């Protein structure tokens, strides 16, 4: 029988990286870890896989809990090539979804941690982006999806059971779909006005 992926929007469960890995290990019948440096095979595998899985899951959808807006700081050095200005990405950015000026989307290009655009020096650029949210801020529906994603890899690397890995993959797919559905229910259909950022910056 496939594992249950029923989930609530909020949870009182501990939500550190170690806690999430420990629960993922339990899903495959392995011993849970209490630390990333406890010397066990489970800990070694967990510490090597966890962050990549977490970041991949965070950019898997435009999650409401890990999306933010920020005014971009223009860099004093002018970029070479076809762009007029360069801007520093907001700290912790994993993915940029849009850049706007006066609430209007503009064209831009990302190189490394810089954003290039053909703008004037007086333009105020607002970035809409996904950032690396702390585990304590993850809703339970997302945490569970990450746990099943980890369990899929653990089933191969620790349990070495392809049948179990397939079962975990199926559960992970369902958990992620459920998480997206729940997250989408929390958004508004109204346009998000960014002009307040410009007002605050100029005041």
Whether 117 is covered by a domain: the verdict is yes
Question: Does the pLDDT of residue 30 top 80, yes or no?
Answer: yes
pLDDT of res. 78: 81
Do both 128 and 85 map to the same domain? Answer: yes
pLDDT band at 13 (very low <50, low <70, confident <90, very high): low
Instruction: Give the percent of the chain with pLDDT over 90.
Output: 80
pLDDT of res. 9: 39
Q: Which of 96, 117, 133 is the last residue of a domain?
A: 133
pLDDT of res. 10: 41
pLDDT of res. 98: 97
pLDDT of res. 1: 40
Q: Which residues of 119-156 are buried (b: 16+ CB within 10 A; e: fewer)?
A: beeebbbbbbbbbebebeebbbbbbbbbbbbbbbbbbb
Task: Say if CB 43 and CB 35 are below 8 A apart.
Answer: yes
Do both 129 and 140 map to the same domain? Answer: no
Q: What is the CATH number of the domain that holds 100?
A: 2.60.40
Whether 89 is covered by a domain: the verdict is yes
Q: Count Cβ atoms within 10 A of the Cβ of residue 46 and give its class: 0-12 exposed, 13-18 middle, 19 or more buried.
A: buried
Do both 47 and 139 map to the same domain? Answer: yes
Do both 144 and 56 map to the same domain? Answer: yes
Do both 76 and 95 map to the same domain? Answer: yes
pLDDT of res. 152: 98
Whether 25 is covered by a domain: the verdict is yes
pTM of the complete model = 0.81
Whether 6 is covered by a domain: the verdict is no
Q: What is the pLDDT of residues 77-129, one digit of tens each?
A: 888 788 999 999 999 999 999 999 999 999 999 999 999 999 999 999 999 99
pLDDT of res. 12: 41
Do both 73 and 161 map to the same domain? Answer: no
pLDDT of res. 3: 46
pLDDT of res. 113: 94
Do both 56 and 141 map to the same domain? Answer: yes
Q: Which of 133, 150, 172 is the last residue of a domain?
A: 133
Whether 202 is covered by a domain: the verdict is no
Q: What is the pLDDT of residues 44-81, one digit of tens each?
A: 999 999 999 999 999 999 999 999 999 999 999 888 78
Do both 76 and 124 map to the same domain? Answer: yes
For range 22-34, the mean pLDDT: 97
Q: Total structural domains in the chain?
A: 2
Do both 93 and 45 map to the same domain? Answer: no
Do both 116 and 75 map to the same domain? Answer: yes
Question: Does the pLDDT of residue 7 top 50, yes or no?
Answer: no
Whether 11 is covered by a domain: the verdict is no
Query: Could you tell me the residue range of the domain that residue 78 belongs to?
Result: 66-133
pLDDT of res. 189: 54
Q: How far apart are CA 153 and CA 169, in angstroms?
A: 9
Residue 102: name the closest of 191, 199, 195 by CA: 195
Question: Does the pLDDT of residue 21 top 50, yes or no?
Answer: yes
Count the neighbouring beta carbons within 10 Å of the beta carbon of residue 200: 9
């Amino acid at each position: 029988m496939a594992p249950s992926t029923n989930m609530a929007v909020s949870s009182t469960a501990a939500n550190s990286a170690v806690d999430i890995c420990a629960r993922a290990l339990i899903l495959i019948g392995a011993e849970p870890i209490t630390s990333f440096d406890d010397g066990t095979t489970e800990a070694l595998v967990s510490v090597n896989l966890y962050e990549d899985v977490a970041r991949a899951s965070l950019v898997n959808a435009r999650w409401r809990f890990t999306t933010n807006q920020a005014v971009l700081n223009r860099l004093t050095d002018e970029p070479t090539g076809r762009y007029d200005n360069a801007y520093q990405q907001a700290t912790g950015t994993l993915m940029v979804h849009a850049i706007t000026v006066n609430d209007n989307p503009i064209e831009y290009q990302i190189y490394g941690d810089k954003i290039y655009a053909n703008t004037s020096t007086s333009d105020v650029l607002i970035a809409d982006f996904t950032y690396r949210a702390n585990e304590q801020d993850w809703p339970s529906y997302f945490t569970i999806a990450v746990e099943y994603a980890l369990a899929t890899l653990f089933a191969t690397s620790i349990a070495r059971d392809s049948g179990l890995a397939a079962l975990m993959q199926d559960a992970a797919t369902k958990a992620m779909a459920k998480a997206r559905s729940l997250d989408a229910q929390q958004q508004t259909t109204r346009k998000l006005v960014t002009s307040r950022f410009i007002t605050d910056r100029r005041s």
